[in-house]
Amino acid sequence: MPTLHFRLDRDHVELNQLLKLNGVCDSGGAGKHLVASGAVRVDGDVELRKTCKIRAGQTVEVGATVIHVVAD
């Protein structure tokens, strides 16, 4: 299970953009489709809001990939 640490240099990042920035998908649009499919969890719960604001301290899971969002 790959575990990634994303350093957040602002208040938040949109979920679809976080997936793109970490290489989980190729584009923000592909990230939106991935979220809409129900395959993404934020802090353990399925998240269907494509542009959900992700902040430092949250964890995003997609399949076997875990992304820990940390403050810069």
Question: Tens of pLDDT along 31-71?
Answer: 999 999 999 999 999 999 999 999 999 999 999 999 999 99
Q: What is the pLDDT of residue 62?
A: 97
DSSP readout, 12-59?
Answer: -EEHHHHHHHTTSSSSHHHHHHHHHTT-EEETTEE---TTPEE-TT-E
The superfamily CATH assigns to domain 3-71 is RNA-binding S4 domain (3.10.290.10)
Which residue ranges make up each domain of the chain?
3-71
Q: What is the pTM of this model?
A: 0.94
Q: Which pLDDT does position 28 carry in this prediction?
A: 87
Going by pLDDT thresholds of 50, 70 and 90, the confidence category of residue 22 is very high
